[in-house]
C-alpha cells in the first residue's frame, strides 16, 4: 500500500481537482432512503454548508429517494460549487429493495433524468452503481462510454466492482473513479484500492465509518481518539485520508453539526503509533 501524501486534493481523471474529503448525499432523503426528507430546507442547508466548508466533491445517485437526493443537490448547488458524482444502474423499489438494472437503455434513461434533476448540461461523473448479473458488464460500460462521447457525461466511474471488472472497463473507457465499500474495519477491497493507486484512479470508500459498526477496531479507534481529543468517527475518516493518496471519503449526514465534525477530520494527523494501532 502506497503511503498517503500531504495533499488534501486529488485530480479526477487527471484534470479536475477536488478536495479529498467529499460529501455523500444519500442521507438527505426520507426514512430508509425513500421519499422526501422531513425538512427539505434543512437538507439544502446541509449541502450549502458543505460547500462553505470547502467540500467540492458531492456524491449522489438516481436511486436515492429515488430522484430526491439529485433534485435537492441540483436546487442547492450551482455548477461551480462542486463536482457532482451520481450513479445509475440500481432500481429502487418502494419496498426498499435495491435491484441491479444495467440494461444500456435503462442506464441512458437514468442519466437523462439525472441531468434534468441536477439542472446540468452534462453529468460531472457518472458511475455504474452495481454490475447487473443479467446484463453483460461490457454492455453497461459501453453505454456509459457512449454517453461520454456524446458529451452528456464528463467522466465515467464504477462502483461495487472487482479488479477484473475494473480491468475490463478500462479496455472500454477511461475510468475516473471506483466506489466500493471500505473502512478501517472492512478492508475486503484492498486489492481494488491498490489497483486504483497503480492507475491513479480515485477510490471512493463508501460506508466510511461502517455505519458505526467498527468491530475489533473500535477499541484502538477510541484510544487514538482520546489521544487526539477527537471522535471515533473523525479518526476513522482521518485513517481513510491517511491510507492512500487516492482515497476520497464521502461521509453522509443530514446534520450540519455532524457535517462540520466530519470535515474537521481533515485537520487530524495520525502518527506512526496511531497507524500501528489501527493496522
pLDDT at 4 > cutoff 60: no
Question: pLDDT grade, residue 215 (50/70/90)?
Answer: confident
pLDDT above 90 (res 226): yes
Residues with catalytic function? 64
**Mean pLDDT (whole number) for 179-187:** 96
How far apart, in whole angstroms, are the C-alpha atoms of residue 186 and residue 166?
20
Please give the backbone phi and psi of residue 22, each rounded to the nearest 5 degrees, phi first.
-100, -165
Residue 2 pLDDT exceeds 70: no
Q: What is the 3-state secondary structure (H, E, C) of 121-190?
A: CCEEEEEECCCCCCCCHHHHHHHHHHHHHCCCEEEEEEECCCHHHHHHHHCCCCEEEEEEECECCECCCH
Secondary structure (DSSP) of 229-274: T--HHHHHHHHHHHH-TTB----B-S-HHHHHHHHHGGG----HHH
Are the C-beta atoms of 81 and 36 separated by less than 8 Å?
Answer: no
Q: Which CATH class is domain 9-213+246-253?
A: alpha beta
Set of cell numbers at residue 260: 462540520
pLDDT digits (tens, 9 = 90+) for 106-157: 999 999 999 999 999 999 999 999 999 999 999 999 999 999 999 999 999 9
For residues 73 and 3, give the distance between their C-alpha atoms in angstroms, rounded to a whole number: 34
Question: What is the reported pLDDT for 3?
Answer: 39
Q: What is the pLDDT of residue 61?
A: 98
Question: Are 209 and 178 contacting, i.e. CB atoms less than 8 angstroms apart?
Answer: no
Task: List pLDDT tens digits, range 51-92.
Answer: 999 999 999 999 999 999 999 999 999 999 999 999 999 998
- Selection from 193, 197, 136, 194 nearest residue 168 by Cα: 136
CA angle 21, 177, 126 (to 5 degrees): 100
Length of the chain, in residues: 279
- The helix (H) or strand (E) run that includes residue 42 is helix 40-52
pTM for the structure as a whole? 0.96
pLDDT of residue 211: 75
Contact 255, 28 (CB under 8 A): no
pLDDT band at 250 (very low <50, low <70, confident <90, very high): very high
Question: Confidence band (pLDDT; 50, 70, 90) for 214?
Answer: confident
Cβ pair 84, 58 in contact under 8 A: yes
pLDDT band at 210 (very low <50, low <70, confident <90, very high): confident
Q: Which pLDDT score is estimated for 71?
A: 98
pLDDT band at 6 (very low <50, low <70, confident <90, very high): low
* Residue 96 pLDDT: 86
Per the CB < 8 A criterion, the answer to whether 262 and 234 are in contact is: yes
Produce one character per residue of 20-46: b if its CB has 16 or more CB atoms within 10 Å, e if not: bbbbbbbbbbeeebbeebeeeeebbbb
Mean pLDDT of 28-40: 96
Provide the pLDDT for residue 94: 80
Helix (H) or strand (E) holding 179: strand 175-181
What value does the mean pLDDT of the chain take? 95
Amino acid at each position: 500500500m502506497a503511503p498517503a501524501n500531504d495533499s488534501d486534493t486529488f485530480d479526477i481523471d487527471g484534470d479536475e481537482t477536488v478536495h479529498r474529503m467529499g460529501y455523500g448525499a444519500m442521507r438527505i432523503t426520507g426514512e430508509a432512503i425513500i421519499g422526501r426528507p422531513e425538512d427539505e430546507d434543512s437538507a439544502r442547508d446541509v449541502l450549502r454548508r458543505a460547500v462553505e466548508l470547502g467540500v467540492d466533491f458531492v456524491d449522489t445517485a438516481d436511486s436515492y429517494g429515488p430522484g430526491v437526493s439529485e433534485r435537492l443537490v441540483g436546487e442547492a448547488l450551482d455548477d461551480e460549487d462542486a463536482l457532482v458524482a451520481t450513479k445509475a444502474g440500481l432500481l429502487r423499489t418502494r419496498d426498499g429493495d435495491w435491484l441491479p438494472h444495467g440494461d444500456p437503455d435503462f442506464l441512458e434513461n437514468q442519466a437523462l433524468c439525472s441531468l434534468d434533476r441536477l439542472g446540468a448540461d452534462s453529468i460531472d461523473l457518472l458511475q455504474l452503481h452495481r454490475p447487473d448479473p443479467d446484463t453483460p458488464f461490457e454492455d453497461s460500460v459501453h453505454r456509459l462510454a457512449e454517453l461520454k462521447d456524446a458529451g452528456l457525461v464528463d467522466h465515467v466511474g464504477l462502483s461495487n466492482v472487482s479488479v477484473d471488472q475494473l480491468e475490463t472497463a478500462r479496455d472500454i473507457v477511461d475510468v475516473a473513479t471506483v466506489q466500493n465499500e471500505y473502512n478501517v474495519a472492512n478492508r475486503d477491497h484492498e486489492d481494488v484500492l491498490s489497483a486504483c493507486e497503480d492507475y491513479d484512479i480515485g477510490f471512493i470508500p463508501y460506508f466510511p465509518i461502517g455505519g458505526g459498526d467498527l468491530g475489533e477496531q473500535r477499541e484502538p479507534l477510541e484510544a487514538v481518539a482520546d489521544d487526539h481529543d477527537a471522535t471515533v468517527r473523525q479518526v476513522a475518516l482521518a485513517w481513510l485520508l491517511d491510507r492512500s493518496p487516492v482515497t476520497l471519503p464521502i461521509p453522509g449526514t443530514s446534520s450540519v453539526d455532524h457535517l462540520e465534525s466530519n470535515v474537521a477530520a481533515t485537520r487530524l494527523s495520525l502518527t506512526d503509533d496511531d497507524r500501528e494501532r489501527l493496522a
